[in-house]
A and B are shown apart, each in its own frame.
Chain A
Amino acid sequence: MASLDAGGIATSGGVRFLGQRRYYWRLLIRGAALLMVTLGIYRFWLVTDVRRFLWSNTEVAGEALEYTGTALELLLGFLVAIALLIPLYAGFFIAALDLGILGKLTGILAFAALAVLGQYAIYRARRYRLTRTIYRGLRFHQKGSAWAYAFRATLWWTTTVLTFGLAYPFQLASLERYKMRNTFYGDLAGSFEASGLILFLRGLPMWLLFFAPLALAIRVFIGLDWQALVDAVAQGGDDVMSKIEGGNPGLGSAIVFAMLMGGASITLAALLYPAFQTLILRWWSSGLRFGDIEMRSHLRMRHVYGSYARFVGYASLFSIAIAVIGTVALVVADALAGFAKVDASGQITTTLVLLIGYVITALGFSTIYRATVLLSLWQLGMESLQLSGLSALEKVKARGRPSSAFGEGLADALNVGGY
């Protein structure tokens, strides 16, 4: 890794991550505790702390990044987003009361509108994060229309769903091209050069592995005697099931086979997920360009699997602890409820214990996930980068203004947020 000491800029260089895991764990655990007592209001401060930590400990060609966003900006953006969403939700609610065609369509329309709005929010949130990212005294910024992006992204998602995911590589490439050609570091324009076809070819084996068991199951079902089945159901009566069985000796085993294949598919998906993530991260970061600056990623699959293994380890330990503490808490709550005679308050106490237990469990897993997988992905993703053409860094000029945090707030309210 060519880090530089003094003077000019090496033409190629790497990225270093200096953050300490211990510090990050402390930050996240304290954040989780505060999230709980503030019912989540603390998240604006936690997110800001996390970003400050990640950004400022990431050193690109010898210079650390800087995050200048503040929690108050995020809070304000969130409040503005809420002010926009309240009338929207109220409108959906009133429309849903209509008994005619409008009422029936409201659900679909609301889903579509919120999906587009979610993509809009993602683009605006990216703009906020970029304009709060400072490197060598200059900020990044993003142009382009968030609505144009939202419609593009919605169309692509629809295509991807309709093609069972086969269009996903092309979606990623197209959306990333749009984002990157509107992304600037000072006056240095970004672009995205990775090809969707290459990702498609590399990802195809995984796709086949996932869908092959499902396809086998479907084939067995197609082979059944459907006419006999329909007849049996149409006849009705008390012993429909036995009639179905009689007419179709293969049905029982077909169902068992389908369940086995479904299980195989899910297991394969879980096992392949880290590989899939590595593939995409490597492909994506190798396609990023800023002017003449090119990036190349050497991300190792086994490192990513390692971070997931750490997650599984910590999560298992945490599960055991929660099971022990939870049992004790429930027994105590039960005893207390019995002591106070069984009435409403006893029921509420038990419910509250379960509720708090659920929140602690969920926060615990999310904290472990952030401290193991997400931090590792950031670190591995960054440290595996090799940059070339860095002499361009000598003469970039300042451009761009900070944008509002409205997009972040909207993404938060719609639950589509990222880092």
Chain B
Amino acid sequence: MPDGTEKPYAMNFGAGIYFDGMTSARHEVGVELTPEGLKISGHDGRLWAQWPYDEIEELAAPDNMLRLGRRGSATLERLEIRDPAFAAEIDAEAIHVDRTGALQRRQRMRVIGWSVGATASLLLVAWFGVPAIAARLALVLPVSVERKLGDAVDMQVRGVLNTGKNDAAFDCGTAAAEMPGRAALDKLMRRLESVAALVIPLRTSVVRRHEANALALPGGHIYVFRGLIDKADKADEVAGVIAHEIGHVAHRDGTKAMLEGAGLSFLFGMLLGDFVGGGAVVLAARNVLQSSYSREAETAADAYSTDLMNKAGGDARALAVILEKTGGATEPGTQILMDHPETKARIAAINRLAAARPSAPLLEASEWAALKQICAGS
């Protein structure tokens, strides 16, 4: 194919096909390169069009054809040139026609540059922006909204946790034999809650799950699994875990996590589109991001627990004791409380924070015995 170094107008006349954009009729035309522009005329001498060189644009076409249009034209008039030599002549004259593709490549590189930039900015937003927004939003969210949110989550969580295999009710502390245990728990909760002085009233339930675990939902709902009470040797161990969960409530961690989840799934799911059916990508990205959020939240809740236990006069180190006991648990589902690969580091941190000071158990021995029986059944 000849390049632009050839002498201009080496071949200033060629054949083409012209569509006037008004009708679908196909016109065989002669095309002349004049100093003013392209002159398109029919074999009968009729002048179809005259296009100045700077108004000619190149349009998508198969490889064997140069398809031209007129920029800013009200109609879709088209000129098709099949002769490669003549096409090269036109290319040399018309500044917006660029058959080497250099112009297009430059535009493409710009697009790629901007999209990569946008991607980096989105990742930064996901990493720093979403948690920051969620944290601020969670703190200003009215308690009534947070409770509503919590109730909605509560239904879901109950559905997941309650496998319905038990003969007895899912909640402990309802049957007659369990009442003293419930009373002991209420006493413990009153003690902790009065020291904690939260804006959100707490609701605590002990449920029939054999894992040694506990979890806090948005809106102040705390679930303690019976497995945890079974594993604990002292009331303060249970109290330490509950204090940890109260920390989550006080820090609004559940609400933050929900808002973060919503923000991330919006960012990755909707904005980026489903280019590979990527629900799974969103989920995995969320897990990677959220597990790094939750690590900080766990450390903060541990600190809160030691502080609260100290203020309540209990043994702040009891949390470390029960962590040690359950940290090695391999049962499925223990992830919720034990979502911490660095259990050892946590135990060390708790022991560092919790000053060795004299403490009195938060429950009497008889009350602790009753709490142990909270899931004894009817």
Chain A residues proximal to chain B, CB less than 8 Å: 6-7, 9, 18-20, 34-35, 37-43, 45, 52, 55-57, 59, 63-64, 66-68, 71, 78, 82, 85, 89, 93, 96-99, 103, 134-139, 185-186, 342-344, 347-348, 351-352, 354-355, 358-359, 362-363, 366, 393-398, 412-413, 415
Contact = CB atoms under 8 A, between A and B. Distances in A.
B275 interface: yes
Interface in B120-148: 122, 145, 148
B284 A355 contact: yes
B10 to A, nearest CB: 26
A72 to B, nearest CB: 9
Q: Would you list the 10 A-B pairs with minimal beta carbon distance, nearest first?
A: A137-B19, A362-B276, A38-B115, A396-B24, A40-B275, A41-B115, A52-B60, A136-B24, A415-B274, A56-B60
B25 A395 contact: yes
Contacts of B26: 9, 63, 136
Nearest to B151: A99
B77 interface: yes
B24 A99 contact: no
Given A344-B292, A397-B23, A37 B62 contact: no
A137 B111 contact: no
Interface in B257-292: 262, 266, 268, 270-278, 280-281, 284-285, 287-288, 291-292
A358 B341 CA distance: 25
B274 A137 contact: no
Contacts of B67: 56, 64, 66
B76 A39 contact: no
Interface of B: 19-26, 28, 59-65, 67, 75-78, 108, 111-112, 115-116, 118-119, 122, 145, 148-149, 151-152, 262, 266, 268, 270-278, 280-281, 284-285, 287-288, 291-292, 295, 341-342
B313 to A, nearest CB: 35
A398 B197 CA distance: 76
Contact of A351 (B262, B278, B280, B284): B284
Contacts of A396: 23-24
Contacts of B270: 82, 85, 89, 413
Nearest to B283: A355
Nearest to B342: A343
B113 to A, nearest CB: 10
Given A355-B285, A363-B275, A395-B24, 20 more contacts: A38-B112, A42-B111, A66-B60, A68-B59, A71-B111, A82-B270, A82-B271, A96-B152, A97-B148, A99-B151, A99-B152, A134-B78, A138-B23, A347-B291, A347-B341, A348-B292, A397-B23, A398-B21, A398-B23, A415-B274
Contact of A186 (B24, B115, B145): B24
A15 to B, nearest CB: 13
A108 to B, nearest CB: 16
Given A40-B272, A41-B272, A136 B152 contact: no
A226 B77 CA distance: 74
A35 B274 CA distance: 11
A47 to B, nearest CB: 10
Given A9-B26, A186-B24, A352-B288, A38 B152 contact: no
A35 B342 contact: no
Contact of B295 (A68, A344, A366): A344
B141 to A, nearest CB: 12
A366 B276 contact: yes
A41 B65 CA distance: 31
A40 B118 CA distance: 11
Nearest to A62: B26
Given A97-B148, A137-B78, A18 B111 contact: no
A351 B288 contact: yes
Contacts of A363: 275-276
Nearest to A7: B28
B357 to A, nearest CB: 32
Given A137-B77, A138-B24, A351 B152 contact: no
B65 A359 contact: no
A332 B18 CA distance: 62
Contacts of B64: 18
B281 A398 contact: no
B151 to A, nearest CB: 6
27 contacts: A18-B62, A20-B63, A37-B115, A39-B122, A40-B273, A41-B118, A42-B111, A59-B62, A66-B59, A93-B262, A99-B151, A103-B152, A137-B21, A137-B75, A138-B19, A186-B23, A186-B24, A344-B291, A344-B295, A347-B341, A355-B284, A358-B281, A359-B281, A362-B278, A393-B24, A398-B21, A398-B23
Given A137-B21, A394-B24, A413-B270, A42 B112 contact: yes
Q: Max chain A CB contacts within 10 Å: which of B148, B274, B295?
A: B274
A413 B273 contact: yes
Contacts of B78: 66, 134, 136-137
A79 to B, nearest CB: 10
Contacts of B148: 97-99
B118 A68 contact: no
A82 B266 CA distance: 11
A348 B273 CA distance: 24
A52 to B, nearest CB: 4
Contacts of A347: 291, 341
Nearest to B345: A343
Contacts of B288: 348, 351-352, 355
B116 A344 contact: no
B61 A394 contact: no
Contacts of B280: 358
